[in-house]
Structure 1
Amino acid sequence: MQIKLNLFVEAMQDAPVIAAVKNDEGLDRALSSGCTVVFLLYGTILNIGELVRRVKEAGKLAFIHIDLIEGMSARDISAEYIASRTEADGVISTHPNLIRRARELGLLTIQRFFMLDSLSFANVLRQSSNADVVDVLPGAIPSVISHLVREVRQPLIASGLLLDKSDVVAALSAGAVAVSTTSERLWSV
């Protein structure tokens, strides 16, 4: 597992912007972009294997946001399905049980947290110990990112509400190892 995590961190050093895609058109553009990692934020239980295959054929790392895949639930069987029926490098979820089970199955795990208030901040510190990587939304809050980087032991990704290059630079400067965005104009920053 540590080897996979090291490969992911190295990929982030080479290209710290992650292409997060919500549809087939976005996936097509992500596959031809310089991004080395793709977050699949769409799909169904019927086509997710094919979507992952396309990402892998393009030489990129593929992460599936289990919570957003039609036909999957917040039950361990969803992680088992991803591990046995796709070539995904890892999963993203807000559900600690899915993170735990995916790690047991050898997948890299990214636990996503929505930062709404100081209770959300405390929740990150309390629940993030099992994931390989922590992902916080919105990613355009560099002061919170810098505090979290000092507190959590995992690499941190900043996602969501990144509007321009200055937001990307601010998140990376605050200590995030990468940013994830659906904004295609930021994929080449």
Structure 2
Amino acid sequence: MSVISYALKRNPLIASLTDTNDLDKVLDSDCNIIILIQSDIGTLKEIVDRIRETDKLIFVHLDLTKGLKRDASGVKFLSEFVGVDGIITTHTNLIQVAKQYNLLTIQRVFILDTASIKQGIKSINSSKPDAVEILPGVVVPHIQNYLKSLSDQTIIAAGLIHSEDEIQHILQNGAQGVSSSSLGLWNKE
């Protein structure tokens, strides 16, 4: 069982931190995984160091980090200087680079139509990330048949998920985890 799968078995909800003013709330949450979204390179290490004091896994959304270039040097910086556990990206080539630095990887895939599902699966099969984040997450139950071909992948749903009922429905129908920036959901299992 992968590190990500183990953390999600303990609590399937992932805290996506979009506002650093909510850092204390995420640190106090029951979530075992934190995704830093829209972080800033100037404060990133300080935030990661605070999270590091807990036993939570730390992921940085590489594509949305201000001041950080989406290339091999950016991945190396996150690994060697910042000390994150993993990255999230839409870029297949960065998944491979992150693996060279022993980082956990989550590939973000946007589902717009059947063609995007097929292209996403092709990309995932090529890059072989540790987990896949499907956006919008509310579509996961509707694309279960396509996701069966990703049987080795941990599926995370994210985006447009607003209630505990939606979370439960998604978890019962194709996802092992749900990522949310909604503070009110972080302490619910």
> Shared topology, TM-score over 0.5?
yes
Cα distance, 1:142 vs structure 2 = 3.5
- Greater shift, 131-140 or 66-75, is seen at 66-75
2:28 counterpart (27, 32, 42): 32
Structure 1 residues 79-113: Cα deviation after superposition (integer angstroms, max 9, x where no partner): 11111112211000011111110011100000001
1:90-169 residue pairs with structure 2 within 5 A? 90-129=86-125, 130=127, 131-152=129-150, 153-169=152-168
Gaps of at least 5 residues in structure 1 are: none
**2-side partners of 1:20 and 1:91: how far apart?**
13
RMSD (CA atoms): 1.4
Gaps of at least 5 residues in structure 2 are: none
Q: Which residue is 1:184 aligned to? A: 183
Contact 2:11/2:30, CA 8 A, preserved across alignment: yes
Contact 2:134/2:140, CA 8 A, preserved across alignment: no
**1-side partners of 2:6 and 2:118: how far apart?**
29
**What secondary structure sits across from 1:116 in the alignment?**
coil
**1-side partners of 2:137 and 2:117: how far apart?**
13
State the TM-score, normalizing by the size of structure 2. Answer: 0.92
- Corresponding letter in the other structure for 2:10: D
Contact 2:15/2:26, CA 8 A, preserved across alignment: yes
Q: Which residue is 1:20 aligned to? A: 16
Matched, 1:11 2:7: yes
**What secondary structure sits across from 2:156 in the alignment?**
strand
Tell me the matched-pair count: 185
- Greater shift, 171-180 or 145-154, is seen at 145-154
**2-side partners of 1:7 and 1:133: how far apart?**
10
**2-side partners of 1:80 and 1:155: how far apart?**
24
**2-side partners of 1:39 and 1:66: how far apart?**
10
Contact 1:149/1:176, CA 8 A, preserved across alignment: no
Structure 1 residues 14-53: Cα deviation after superposition (integer angstroms, max 9, x where no partner): 1100000111122221111111110000222222111111
**1-side partners of 2:135 and 2:184: how far apart?**
19
Contact 1:67/1:94, CA 8 A, preserved across alignment: yes
State the TM-score, normalizing by the size of structure 1. Answer: 0.92
- Corresponding letter in the other structure for 1:78: G
**What secondary structure sits across from 1:151 in the alignment?**
helix
Task: From the superposition, tell whether residues 169 and 145 of structure 1 become closer, same or farther in structure 2 (CA, over 3 Å).
Answer: farther
Cα distance, 1:145 vs structure 2 = 4.5
